[in-house]
Amino acid sequence: MSARHRLSGRFRVHVPPGEAFELFTPRGEERWAPGWRPRFPADDGTGPGTVFETVHDGETTTWVVVECEPGHRVSYARVTPGHRAGTVTVLLTADGPEHSLVEVTYDLTALTEEAARTLDEFAADYPAFLRGWEKAIRSA
């Protein structure tokens, strides 16, 4: 059992990075991620310092945009109180004129022993998790 996992993987999308970037913004993920409904207590944007919350499986997660280079990279800090905390970074690079390579990195730390078990399961399933993203984006 590990309290921290740094997970990274890649997949390809059939749009250039400038367009693909929007898919990984808080509002853009609504287009393809089932159940993704960010709630913004203030600004509804992607600039550093933007805060929003999501609810998934009964857990509320607070997200903060920590870095944003439109068309290239976005990084979020995320905390699910009593469960896990860490960062999620999406890096986009051109893969030909009409495609993008998407690299997604989760760096998460479990905050309890139970959360460590859940995080271990997430880590073991990470490649399938990203394949799910790729399929959902393709279908959107």
d(CA 63, CA 41): 11
Which pLDDT does position 67 carry in this prediction?
A: 97
CATH for 28: 3.30.530.20
Q: Domain span at residue 27?
A: 4-139
Contacts 24+ apart (CB under 8 A), 33-37: 33/133, 33/136, 34/136
How many structural domains is the chain composed of?
A: 1
d(CA 90, CA 101): 10
Averages of pLDDT over runs of 10 residues in the chain (140 residues) are 92 94 96 95 91 94 97 97 97 94 98 96 97 95
Helix axes 113-124, 126-139, angle to 10 degrees: 60
Q: What is the DSSP letter of 15?
A: S
Which pLDDT does position 1 carry in this prediction?
A: 67
Which pLDDT does position 140 carry in this prediction?
A: 87
